Amino acid sequence: MTTAPAPQPGIMGIDLYQGGASKIAGRDDVLKLSSNENPYGAPPSAVEAARVAAADMHLYPPTDHAPLRRAIAEVHDLDPERVICGVGSDEVIHWLCQAYAGPGDQVLHTEHGFLMYGISARAAGAAPVKVPERDRTVDVDALLDGVTDATKLVFIANPANPTGTLLNGQDVTRLADGLPDGCLLVLDGAYAEFADDFDGGLRLAETRANVVATRTFSKLYGLGGMRVGWAYGARDAIDVLNRIRGPFNLSNVALAAAEAAVRDRDFAAMTRDGNAAQRARLICGLRALGLGCDDSQANFVLARFADRATAEAADAHLQAAGIVVRHPVGYGFPAALRITVGDEAGTTRVLDALRAFAERDDDL
Ligand SMILES: Cc1ncc(COP(=O)(O)O)c(C=O)c1O
């Protein structure tokens, strides 16, 4: 019998990514608050653009994504030549690791950082290295201390997932300035649009050769199922990533939907305002129940319970009420639940369910 070929080193060390659950057996009224999706759905303008583009599904899509890059550049006041679009920002994260890190190299991220950083680092044969956070917030000094000659990439999400905390602009600049030559800082801005007065690091990426900013259409723009993300960086870095990008990585339908979504400023503003209002209600309601909860700047909130058993009991109680949230054990928070900010009715429903849990034999 022949032996099966072995995969590249590091691949079998990857734990499979677990997406947020979406179903509860026997219920058809599930409220899904586990994947930070847009509670208002997709923009109708994007749905219509996708419908029209679907007529061209027999044709290959364009390879250069020029209309989408132009739209992104117009809306964010950027140079379209420095924008690259991927199958979600996940794909961009993957390219960054593939292009800049390999065997013997290290990829730094923080203690509770987004799981894809470690997965993509390992897929490239590099070693992911976790550095501590301070009070559930990225710690610039710990990151700078963690850098070695082998560090090729540093990833931070800002606001961070799953904590929702934000590192201020001065600290982000200090991090970029403190990194040695040859080390790239990736500012993952998947939730940047939900933070107050924050550009997600785009200006820093404009002026620094060692900074790349990533963004997504999955959250504010309501296109999680379309899989579109993008990055902005120095021309040289974007050129590097374009060399490994599949030429037809985004479909006609995805390109059309994303272009319509980014131009739909009213939908984005409605989502941002709705999120800010419901996030404030959710944080206030959780604190009133005695739960620990940081000032999230994202579209989710991390509710901290007394211990893991209480978080599990609360999770079970929510599921019994038809509500799915995320128990972020894989992120190092076994005693917490990450709750996506829903619409007004969703926020009422999750708060009512948690209040009932708290009142049940003083469970909190
Ligand atoms: C911090 C962070 N970065 C990146 C992503 C990837 O998003 P997408 O691939 O949908 O663009 C997510 C998704 O949840 C995320 O939480």
Domain ranges in the chain?
Answer: 17-41+266-362, 44-263
Ligand 1 atom 15: the closest Cα is on which residue? 190
Ligand 1 site, residue 218, Cβ cutoff 6 A:
yes
The rounded Å distance from CA 43 to ligand 1 centre is: 19
Ligand 1 atom 7: the closest Cα is on which residue? 89
Closest ligand 1 atom to 228 CA: 11
Q: What number does CATH give the domain 17-41+266-362? A: 3.90.1150.10
Closest ligand 1 atom to 227 CA: 10
Which tens digits make up the pLDDT trace of 106-130? 999 999 999 999 999 999 999 999 9
Ligand 1 site, residue 188, Cβ cutoff 6 A:
yes
Longest dimension (CA), the chain: 65
What pLDDT is recorded for position 26? 82
How many C-beta atoms lie closer than 10 Å to residue 1's C-beta? Answer: 3
Q: Which long-range contacts link 66-70 to residues 24+ away (Cβ below 8 Å)?
A: 67/255, 67/259, 68/228, 68/250, 68/255, 68/258, 68/259, 68/262, 69/230
Q: Are 340 and 39 in contact (CB under 8 A)?
A: yes
Q: What number does CATH give the domain 44-263? A: 3.40.640.10
Dihedral sign for Cα atoms in the order 89, 94, 95, 100: positive
Per-residue confidence band for 179, with pLDDT thresholds at 50, 70 and 90: very high
Per-residue confidence band for 102, with pLDDT thresholds at 50, 70 and 90: very high
The rounded Å distance from CA 161 to ligand 1 centre is: 9
Per-residue confidence band for 23, with pLDDT thresholds at 50, 70 and 90: confident
The rounded Å distance from CA 311 to ligand 1 centre is: 24
- Find the mean pLDDT for residues 49-58: 97
Ligand 1 site, residue 298, Cβ cutoff 6 A:
no
Alpha-carbon distances, residue 167 vs 49, 57, 137, 291, 295 (angstroms): 36, 42, 7, 23, 12
What pLDDT is recorded for position 158? 97
What pLDDT is recorded for position 13? 87
How many C-beta atoms lie closer than 10 Å to residue 177's C-beta? Answer: 12
Average pLDDT over the chain, rounded to an integer? 96
Which tens digits make up the pLDDT trace of 6-21? 988 888 888 888 777 7
What pLDDT is recorded for position 209? 95
Ligand 1 site, residue 89, Cβ cutoff 6 A:
yes
Closest ligand 1 atom to 216 CA: 11
Residue 361 has pLDDT above 70, yes or no: no
Per-residue confidence band for 353, with pLDDT thresholds at 50, 70 and 90: very high
The residue behind tokens 């290959």 is 60
Which tens digits make up the pLDDT trace of 200-254? 999 999 999 999 999 999 999 999 999 999 999 999 999 999 999 999 999 999 9
Residue 22 has pLDDT above 90, yes or no: no
Ligand 1 site, residue 259, Cβ cutoff 6 A:
no
* Pairwise CA distance, residues 98 & 96, whole Å: 6
The rounded Å distance from CA 180 to ligand 1 centre is: 27
What pLDDT is recorded for position 363? 63
Per-residue confidence band for 296, with pLDDT thresholds at 50, 70 and 90: very high
